[in-house]
Amino acid sequence: MLVQKTFNRRVQNVVLSAFFGTALSLGLSQGSADAASPFHAFVYRDKGDLLATGSLQPESYARSEKAGVSKKSSSLKQAATAKVNWVGFDDSLFARAKRENKFVLLDLEAVWCHWCHVMDRETYTDPEVVKLINERYIAVKVDQDARPDLSHKYEDYGWPATIIFNADGKEIVKRSGYIRAERMRSLLAAIIKDPTPEEKEPPRVTYNRKGALSDKLKKELIEKHVNGYDSVYGAWGHFHKFLDWDSVEYAMETGLAGDKEAEARARKTLDGQLNLLDPVWGGVYQYSTDGDWKHPHFEKIMQMQAENMRIYSLGYRLYKDERYLKAASEIARYLNQFLSSPDGAFYTSQDADLIQGKHSAGFFELDDAARRARGIPKIDKHSYARENGWAITGFVALYAASGEKKYLDRALAATVWVEKNRALEGGKSGGFSHDARDAAGPYLGDTLAMGRAYLALYGVTGDRVWLDKARAAADFIQKHFIAGAAEGDAGYVTADLSSSKIATPVRLPDENARLSRFANLLYHCSGNSQYKAMAERAMRFIATAEIARKRKILVAGPLLADLELSRDPLHVTVVGKKGDAAAEALFKAAIAGPAVYSRIEFYDRAEGVLPNSDVEYPDLGKAAVFSCGDGICSAPVYEASQVKRFFEPRDKNKDM
């Protein structure tokens, strides 16, 4: 999100009153942003006036948004019931815009977004705004969850995000958050008078060629990660409190390596996030404002639910704190009760508002019966492959931590649904659509989320069919989303490059970090070096200094990807027959072990050699567990209670 240089001078004592981010824009420097997810919205309150950051412009800004503003005439008052003529987004809009000599206004909103509802109710019903739009603009309204290509392209500006194009598809202005009616009237009139684009073309970037962070850049990112931590309340950043999963996971990983301060950061954040659990329905609220954990905003969005479930499950495995396991279970309860379809799929989100555009804090203070008597906030019942992949991975993590098969069964039910309803070409291609019918795409996020889900399923079952499906997903990604020579030959784009000429797909740092980690672990599990190359290609993009330095605090994604690419995962293998009680008990103990980056395998000789047969295991006549790494294998273990020794630091483990 662009925060103008005059912001601090012009707005004093501002209270940030509404924002969502699964990874938020925090610690902003002038003119820069730290956006890490397509789910966020900044809105500021100052003396009762709501302002979007994108509406605050420098004093010297060339475009006078006061131009063309007139008082409302009696005819406008009579037109108070007029409505904006909204249409959907596609490339043909711009041919129409040329024919009709109009601009294109894109309102990119979120179904769950409070300030999107307010803007619909107050700004887009203003008679003069309606008149200006209908006469000189083609108005386009898009649900950002439904269009990942647009969502990702403009994620730094929403939600809501307002993007205005000329008839050639070139962006004129981009505005973030709620825009009050009088500001919108000024903006629309100013563009009609002077449609000169605000921004110049960005400078060309030369991308990293090594597929790793330089020592200098790594040190810089580590300093940002450590310095951005709030030592008083926990979490990263000092105004918004939420669990940024990459930051917590990196702190967990470095904590396991002996950094006690990092472990303390992870645990304090996990403890703080417990305040955002809904005590009645389960699930986690999006974030808290005011620098503490006591001012929640109440949206419940799938990525936040799924990643919190995964991280709390991992936290329980590492620290054996029962509160963390309960938190993960409460999120699962919420997803099963509120965001599950009758046929096994997961829905997308639940609104913060019972009545759209009106805050519902009092509602969430009620018990279950009182809430239901008033009604249930709207649920977005779209079932996207991406959101289902996130949820599947979360449920798999909870199964690994708890050992309760009901969580694995729920993950499998969703997997069956996605394969039946979202697999492209009947599953032959390895890729996935987003929705039943997509206006563009395919999108990287859907196939990446399902690839990660498949690899997670392989990790907790040892069933090679899931590994094969993860490989097919990776192959589809390589075919459709690779950024070629024209894009600097580094990283992967968020949508197929042929999906839209106007909404040209971009590369996202977070998506490339997740892809790098997925492809790298897939390489270790499969032994296929092409996946290592994929991981390094994604890393070349996020290891480029100009890309990595855009972040001010939330920098753990590149650090995690770089750390994992630099070493082998903890490798634990159960050797025995599947279905044998002793072997199954050993495997269950192994998948519950305290590790962030691990390769857990189940070797049943009846299935043939392991996909990555880099170790030859002896036949001992009974089930056993081995841990191998750095050219050394442990002595076998035969009891589930002894498996934990493989997860201890090597200098403490005399058997390694």
**Cα 653 from Cα 299, distance rounded (Å):** 46
Share of the chain above pLDDT 90, in %: 72
What confidence score (pLDDT) does residue 56 get?
A: 34
- Cβ–Cβ < 8 Å for 408, 396: yes
Q: What are phi and psi of 187, to 5 degrees?
A: -65, -45
- Per-residue model confidence as pLDDT tens digits over 477-495: 999 999 876 667 899 999 9
**Cα 503 from Cα 273, distance rounded (Å):** 36
Q: Whats the size of the chain, residue-wise?
A: 656
Q: Which residue has the higher pLDDT, 158 or 525?
A: 525
- Per-residue model confidence as pLDDT tens digits over 531-574: 999 999 999 999 999 999 998 999 999 999 999 999 999 999 99
- Cβ–Cβ < 8 Å for 385, 454: no
- Per-residue model confidence as pLDDT tens digits over 60-82: 334 444 444 444 444 444 445 68
**Cα 533 from Cα 283, distance rounded (Å):** 38
| pTM summary value | 0.85
What confidence score (pLDDT) does residue 456 get?
A: 98
448-453 mean pLDDT: 98
* Segments making up each domain of the chain, as ranges: 7-193, 570-652
**Cα 33 from Cα 13, distance rounded (Å):** 21
What confidence score (pLDDT) does residue 201 get?
A: 73
What confidence score (pLDDT) does residue 507 get?
A: 92
Which two structure tokens, joined as six digits, stand for 639?
A: 């009891």
- Per-residue model confidence as pLDDT tens digits over 128-140: 999 999 999 999 9
619-647 mean pLDDT: 90
Which two structure tokens, joined as six digits, stand for 447?
A: 């196939």
- Per-residue model confidence as pLDDT tens digits over 537-548: 999 999 999 999
Contacts of residue 123, defined as CB under 8 A and 6 or more positions apart, other chains included, come to: 129, 178, 179, 180, 181, 184
11-28 mean pLDDT: 31
* Res. 205 pLDDT band, cuts 50 70 90: confident
What's the Rg (C-alpha) of the chain?
A: 25
| Helix, strand counts (H, E) of the chain | 22, 17
* Nearest alpha-carbon partner for 487 in 554, 547, 438, 550: 547
* Nearest alpha-carbon partner for 470 in 399, 406, 389: 389
Amino acid at 218: K
473 burial via Cβ count (<10 Å: 0-12, 13-18, 19+): buried
CATH number of the structural domain 7-193: 3.40.30.10
* Nearest alpha-carbon partner for 243 in 21, 27, 40, 41: 21
DSSP line for 516-575: HHHHHHHHHHH--HHHHHHHHHHHHHHTSHHHHTT-SS--HHHHHHHHHHTSPPEEEEEE
Share of the chain above pLDDT 70, in %: 85
| Cα-based distances in Å from 352 to 67, 103, 112, 331 | 37, 33, 6, 17
